[in-house]
Amino acid sequence: MKNVYTLRVLFLVTLCFPGLTAKGQNTPAKPKPKVEVIARAQPDRILLRWAPNTPAGWQYANQYGYVVERYTVLKDSLLTTPRKTVLTASLKPTPLPQWEAAVKGNKYAAVAAQALYGETFQLSEQQGNSVTQIIHKSKELESRFSFALFAADQSLEVARLSGLFYEDKTARPDEKYLYRVYAQVPPAKMKLDTGFVYVGLADHQPLPKPLDLEARFADRVVELRWNRQHFERIYNSFLVERSDDEGVSFHSISDLPILNTVPENQPDPQYAFKLDSLPENNRRYSYRVRGISPFGEMSPPSDTVSGKGRGAFAASPVIVQKTLLANGRVKLEWEFPDSASAGLSGFTIGRSQSPKGVFEAVGKVPAAARTYLDGQPNHTNYYTVTAHDAHGSTTTSLPVLVQLMDSLPPAPPVALAGRIDSTGRVVLRWKANPEKDMYGYRVYRANFLGEEFSQVTVEPVRDTLFTDTINVRTLTPSVYYKVMAVDRSQNPSGFSAPLALKRPDVLPPVAPVFVAVNASDRGIELRWVNSSSADVVQHLLYRRPADKPAWEPVAAFKRADSVARYVDVNAGLKTTYEYTLIAQDESGLRSEPAKPITAKRIDNGVRPAMEEVTATADREKRQVLLQWNYPAKNVERYLLYRAEAGGPLRLYKTLSAEVSLYEDRSLVINTIYTYKMKAVYLDGAQTAFSGKISVNY
């Protein structure tokens, strides 16, 4: 036993222990170290299996051992305080000398002993098989771990010797237990989580038989498959058994079980498969499958399937003649040797529009037939003839081409529609033509409806969708498209109805231009030439004081109004203004501002006359009361003028800007007095005379 074992196995598995380790495609890169536990209830005992889920955890646990504890949770009813029972001391792998007897009669014991105690752990292939070279010497610990758990999965004796099994014979039928299995590894070396499983004797159920066994018999070989996914948590391997005497006796077809494994990074398949070589054809063989649990139990056999091997066809059909008949029909003739016709059940005629396409079965004829008439061929036809036997074997001829004459063009495409986005990407769609021999479509484009359309497709497009790219930074407002259909004989249809698509507006309009500016005391008159762009909807006039940065809107002019002149009567005196114009189009795009012009309103020193002036005669108080309201700012004083009985108008009084009334008491009875007023500003400017007011006192 101290010598190095050389392991000779047919293939390598990662782990085959349902519930303890994950299959290859689900194994995380760095699993959390823990002890995984499963249980199996027998009528009089509880069987426990466990294993760490990492190689390092397995190595430490072999050194420090496992402890199994049982907590009685239920005894007829739920216990308030579970009752703890320590079932084992430290369980470790059995010392090497005690493996001798097991190694002699159990091939898996040799594997486990080498993994546990061998000085080196080498893998060598058998009969040139290279699968076992997957794990290199640099991963020796992972190899030892994988093979040790694999061997324990296949043999309960090996699991017991490896310290990975316990049999609780003290379990009672009226109780249920929570079993706790943990490794006595010091936390400083590795934190290895504890494993738990809840079970009782009442959970015992007989093992189910494997399901869905099927067999496909061929020439001296049979392919077997059965449902592995349904019981993957119960069975870790299977035995396939064969009967050569009509089901009287069965024997296993291999020394090793078939493992319930899945290749790494592959989807979990529903079925397991096994190929078996048949000693001879035309003899009935029966097969069944048994499952093996991680506790070494063998399941009942599955249902039996039976069948016979059969020889393959010795020849294939050969199509020797293809004839075009009236009304577009096609006649095929083929040969098939009589020497290969044993078991022949008939022929299937396949048809496709491509030699590499999917051949649709268009006809079936009996075994004696050697001709077939296709009454509804396509324009282009590739034909094959397939021979069948009663067992499902087939052999197929090479394809031959038959092409019909065609001079009728397809109809013009209809329902052409499309759109253009802001980047110039055009998407066109149309309704598919109904002709069966359609090959594709050609797309044509023009910038004007009356010009010649240019083809934009290099090859006919097979779909009813086409994308194009156009220049949107152009003054041409629209783009036009037509579509033509082409059949497999390259017969072109007429054009579809033209489709007009408006280009997205990404170009701002041309800026307007000022042509004149005139300043007067009434205001500032502006004249300009409107934008020449056809899609302009309005012009916007802006103004700002020459020493200010912000523009303020003054007026907006609709294009339909054809306005090209404006007088700014609201311009302030003694302020220099700048003016500009902007054109705006239908898409909301605005032109560059017109080159600004500068103007200042002329100040002649005359301000608007005072309008709200009244005069009232009051003979009781012997006065005429004058009142006014003049809201203008910067007024320094008011000048009051008076005339008596048709005499000349003279300056009568100078009044402060702070007052808004005056009582005139220098009066003669029965005299008509006439009044006018002016306002004088701080800068010396004066208003015109107010309206004349006459009072008869």
Please, what are the domains in the chain? 6-203 (no CATH), 211-308 (2.60.40.10), 318-403 (2.60.40.10), 417-502 (2.60.40.10), 513-600 (2.60.40.10), 606-696 (2.60.40.10)
Instruction: Report the pLDDT value the prediction gives residue 133, as an integer from 0 to 100.
Output: 46
Instruction: Report the pLDDT value the prediction gives residue 303, as an integer from 0 to 100.
Output: 95
pLDDT digits (tens, 9 = 90+) for 314-327: 788 999 999 988 88
Predicted confidence band at 291 (pLDDT cuts at 50, 70, 90)?
very high
Percentage of the residues of the chain whose pLDDT score is greater than 70:
92
Identity of the amino acid at 340? A
- Interior/surface letters 318-336, b for 16+ CB within 10 angstroms, e for the rest: ebeebeeeeeeebebebeb
Element housing 578 (H / E):
strand 576-585
Please return the burial class of 346, using the count of CB atoms within 10 Å of its CB with bins 0-12, 13-18 and 19+: middle
Residue 11 has pLDDT above 60, yes or no: no
* Helix/strand/coil for 459: coil
Is residue 678 within 8 A of residue 633, CB to CB? The reply is no
Predicted confidence band at 132 (pLDDT cuts at 50, 70, 90)?
very low
Q: Which of 427, 509, 508, 503 is nearest to 471 (CA)?
A: 503
SS3 readout for 307-352: EECCCCCCCCCEEEEEEECHHHCEEEEEECCHHHCCCEEEEEEEEE
Tokens of 660: 């808004």
Predicted confidence band at 580 (pLDDT cuts at 50, 70, 90)?
very high
Instruction: Report the pLDDT value the prediction gives residue 517, as an integer from 0 to 100.
Output: 92
Torsion angle of C-alpha atoms 331, 335, 338, 340, degrees rounded to 10: -110
Mean pLDDT value across residues 60-88: 93
Mean pLDDT value across residues 666-694: 90
Instruction: Report the pLDDT value the prediction gives residue 121, as an integer from 0 to 100.
Output: 66
Instruction: Report the pLDDT value the prediction gives residue 21, as an integer from 0 to 100.
Output: 38
pTM: 0.47
Tokens of 437: 């021999």
- The residue with greater pLDDT, 622 or 123, is 622
Residue 492 has pLDDT above 70, yes or no: yes
Radius of gyration of the chain from Cα atoms? 53
Q: Which of 93, 97, 7 is nearest to 52 (CA)?
A: 93
Tokens of 480: 């036009």
